[in-house]
Amino acid sequence: MSTNKPRNLLISPRWQAHELGAPMPDSVHAASACLPLWEHNVRYEEGDPEVVGRLQAAYPRFCLHPLVRQLCARVLGTGAHGLIFPSASSAARAVLHVRHRGGQVLRQIELPGTQAVAVETSAEDLPKLKEYWQHAGEIVSSRAAERLLAGQPAEITDSPLRSTLRKRVAEFGGCDADDVWLFPSGMAAIACVWRAIRRLDGIRPTLQFGFPYVDTLKIQQRFAPSAWKFLPMGNSQDLEQLRMIVQQEPVCAVFCETPTNPLLTTPDLAGLRKLADEYGFLLVVDDTLAAIINENPLRFADVVVTSLTKYFSGQGDVLAGSARLNPDGPRAAELRAALRAEFEEQLCDADVAVLEKNSRDVRERVTVINTNAEQLVERLRQHPAVERVHYPEAVSEMPTGGGKQPGRGGLLSIVLRDAPSRTPVVFDRLQVCKGPNLGTSFTLCCPYTLLAHYTELDEVERYGVSRWLLRISVGTEPLEVLWQRFSDALQP
Angle at 72 between CA 68 and CA 76, to 5 degrees: 175
Residue of 190, 206, 83 whose CA lies nearest to 140: 83
Looking at 125, 149, 173, which one is the last position of a domain? Answer: 149
Residue 457 lies in a domain: yes
User: For residue 63, what pLDDT is reported?
Assistant: 86
pLDDT under 70: residue ranges of the chain: 1-3, 394-405
Can you name the residues that pair with 107 across neighbouring β-strands? 120
Model confidence over 338-376: pLDDT tens digits?
Answer: 999 999 999 999 999 999 999 999 999 999 999 999 999
- Give 304-360 as a DSSP string: EEEETTTTTT-SSS---EEEEE-TTSTTHHHHHHHHHHH----S-HHHHHHHHHHGG
Residue 242 lies in a domain: yes
Residue 10 lies in a domain: no
Model confidence over 367-385: pLDDT tens digits?
Answer: 999 999 999 999 999 999 9
Are 139 and 165 members of one domain? Answer: no
User: For residue 400, what pLDDT is reported?
Assistant: 65
User: For residue 2, what pLDDT is reported?
Assistant: 44
Q: Is 65 helix (H, G, I), strand (E, B) or coil?
A: coil
Domain holding 73, by residue range, is 17-149
CATH of the domain at 427: 3.40.640.10
Are 93 and 168 members of one domain? Answer: no
Are 397 and 411 members of one domain? Answer: yes
C-beta of residue 265 within 8 angstroms of C-beta of residue 239 = no
Are 60 and 199 members of one domain? Answer: no
Look at the chain and report how many structural domains it folds into: 2
Are 210 and 356 members of one domain? Answer: yes
User: For residue 402, what pLDDT is reported?
Assistant: 58
Residue 410 lies in a domain: yes
C-beta of residue 105 within 8 angstroms of C-beta of residue 121 = yes
Q: In whole angstroms, how large is the CA radius of gyration of the chain?
A: 21
Are 119 and 158 members of one domain? Answer: no
Are 348 and 443 members of one domain? Answer: yes
Looking at 118, 149, 180, which one is the last position of a domain? Answer: 149
Looking at 102, 124, 149, which one is the last position of a domain? Answer: 149
